[in-house]
Copies of this chain bind each other. A is one copy, B any other.
Amino acid sequence: MADFKFDIKENLGTISESNKGWTREVNVMTWNNKKPKVDIREWDEKHEKMGKGITLNKEELKKLKEILNAIDLDELKVE
């Protein structure tokens, strides 16, 4: 499947697990041997197949953290 190279360096946490066993995770990973970034994405159990997600550098991760900390999640009109 992979015509590109990826390498999960460190799992920072698991967001959720689907009933099919796929997990949504926050990982430090590299793509095609480039410098490591943080990646938020869905994975199958063997971490061979992946779903869509987003890759963030450190500045972006800090900004995401800031955004999430500024919101009252309980008030959010979200399922």
Interface positions of A (Cβ within 8 A of B)? 9, 12-16, 24, 26, 28, 35-38, 40-42, 52-54, 56-71, 73, 76-79
* Sample of 9 A–B contacts (CB below 8 Å): A13-B63, A15-B60, A15-B64, A28-B78, A40-B40, A58-B73, A65-B68, A68-B68, A69-B69
Which of chain B's residues have a CB closer than 8 A to the CB of A57? 78-79
For A52, give its contact among B9, B13, B52 (CB under 8 Å).
B52
Number of copies: 2
> What secondary structure prevails in chain A residues at the interface with B?
mixed
Q: How far is the CA of A77 from the CA of B37 in the complex (A)?
A: 8
Asked if B64 contacts A26 (CB within 8 A), the reply is: yes
